């Protein structure tokens, strides 16, 4: 095994198991590539121990798919690889949320205990003391209000004429709100809708198959601002999409001619197409140039 293995012991062990299982089944890398839709050069790098040729989320997805196809059934080892890559699982996320909820509940119980203790202590106070305290508080509030009121009636350092001039100053009129033209209101409303119709007309919408397809994000505030449309134009082709470095993995499958697929991402999409000449790609309504390779990355770098 090469010395540049980056997954650690679990990754090295999994790669050895995959290579051994492939050889025991008498399969070549070309045959595994055809079965998994993973490029042969990617499989060669994996078996050579070079696991840095793509972001770790993509490499992990390749390892998992390779294991499923080749028949290596070792969930614990695969999860160990996930841990070494620091890729969170749904179970871990739920545990973190549950832990946060328990901490919040414990804090609430402590606050309830404090208020309960205060209420219990107040129950033993004499009614006479309570009434006396209330009367004292009212007297203090009245005194404060009296001094504040008397202090603002007139500034003793100003002459009567100065006081009169101050009172006679006319109020400055507030500016009237600017009128919004009807066209501006319509434009603002259309921008907020975030539909395909609210943007400059997309050339692809002129085609019959694209009439009911949403090429743009659901709204300007949606976190998913990258929309990829994949259209199968001929025969059939394998399509697999990974969004945002593995945050969302769309299952790979073979799709027939005429099918239109829609994928979303926050920042970027890793696209794997089995037969590139048989598909068309549109990113946010703009047609992507024909693919020269079976794998490309679209969106923000």
What is the domain partition of the chain in residue ranges? 9-84, 196-299
- How high is the pLDDT of residue 295? 92
- What percent of the chain shows pLDDT beyond 70? 63
Using the predicted structure, report yes or no on whether residue 176 has a pLDDT greater than 80: no
- How high is the pLDDT of residue 201? 66
Q: Calculate the average pLDDT of the chain.
A: 74
- How high is the pLDDT of residue 300? 78
Using the predicted structure, report yes or no on whether residue 293 has a pLDDT greater than 80: yes
- CATH dotted code for 9-84: 1.10.260.40
Using the predicted structure, report yes or no on whether residue 59 has a pLDDT greater than 70: yes
Q: Which residue has the higher pLDDT, 148 or 250?
A: 250
- How high is the pLDDT of residue 51? 74
- How high is the pLDDT of residue 100? 52
Using the predicted structure, report yes or no on whether residue 207 has a pLDDT greater than 80: yes
- How high is the pLDDT of residue 301? 62
- How high is the pLDDT of residue 79? 84
- How high is the pLDDT of residue 160? 46
pLDDT band at 156 (very low <50, low <70, confident <90, very high): very low
**224-264 confidence digits (pLDDT tens):** 999 999 999 999 998 999 999 888 999 889 999 999 999 99
- How high is the pLDDT of residue 269? 94
Using the predicted structure, report yes or no on whether residue 144 has a pLDDT greater than 60: yes
pTM over cut 0.85: no
- How high is the pLDDT of residue 118? 44
- How high is the pLDDT of residue 57? 84
Q: Comparing 60-69, 152-161, 180-189, 287-296, which segment has the lowest mean pLDDT?
A: 180-189
Distance of CA 166 to the CA centre of its chain: 58
Of 21-30, 47-56, 142-151, 159-168, the range with the highest mean pLDDT is 21-30
**DSSP codes of every residue in 172-235:** PPPPPPPPPPHHHHHHHHHHHH--GGGSSPPGGGGSGGGTT---S-S-TT-S--EEEEEEE-SS
Distances (CA, A) of 67 to 73, 143, 148, 271, 274: 7, 82, 80, 21, 19
- How high is the pLDDT of residue 139? 86
pLDDT band at 194 (very low <50, low <70, confident <90, very high): very low
**64-102 confidence digits (pLDDT tens):** 888 888 888 888 888 887 877 667 654 454 555 456 556
């Amino acid at each position: 095994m090469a010395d540049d293995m980056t997954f650690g012991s679990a990754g090295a062990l999994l790669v050895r198991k995959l290579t051994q299982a492939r050889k025991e089944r008498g399969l070549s890398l070309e045959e595994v590539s055809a079965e998994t839709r993973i490029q042969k050069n990617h499989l060669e790098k994996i078996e050579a121990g070079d696991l840095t040729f793509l972001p770790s989320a993509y490499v992990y997805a390749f390892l998992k798919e390779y294991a499923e196809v080749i028949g290596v059934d070792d969930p614990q080892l695969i999860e160990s690889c996930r841990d070494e890559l620091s890729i969170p699982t749904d179970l871990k996320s739920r545990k973190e949320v549950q832990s946060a909820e328990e901490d919040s509940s414990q804090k609430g119980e402590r606050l309830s205990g404090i208020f309960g203790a205060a209420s219990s202590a107040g129950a033993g106070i004499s009614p006479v003391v309570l009434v006396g305290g209330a009367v004292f508080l009212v007297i203090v509030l009245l005194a404060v209000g009296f001094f504040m009121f008397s202090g603002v009636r007139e500034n003793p350092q100003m002459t009567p004429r100065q006081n009169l001039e101050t009172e006679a100053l006319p109020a400055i009129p507030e500016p009237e709100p600017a009128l919004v033209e009807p066209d501006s209101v319509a434009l603002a409303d259309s921008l907020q809708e975030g539909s395909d119709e609210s943007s400059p007309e997309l050339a692809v919408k002129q085609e019959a198959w694209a009439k009911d397809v949403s090429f743009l994000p659901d709204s300007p505030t949606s976190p998913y601002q990258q929309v990829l449309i994949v259209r199968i134009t001929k025969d059939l082709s394998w399509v697999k999409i990974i969004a945002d470095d593995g945050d969302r993995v769309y299952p790979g499958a073979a799709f027939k001619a005429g099918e239109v697929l829609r994928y979303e991402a926050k920042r970027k999409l890793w696209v794997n197409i089995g037969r590139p000449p048989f598909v068309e790609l549109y990113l946010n309504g703009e047609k992507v140039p024909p693919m020269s390779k079976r794998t490309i990355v679209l969106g923000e770098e």
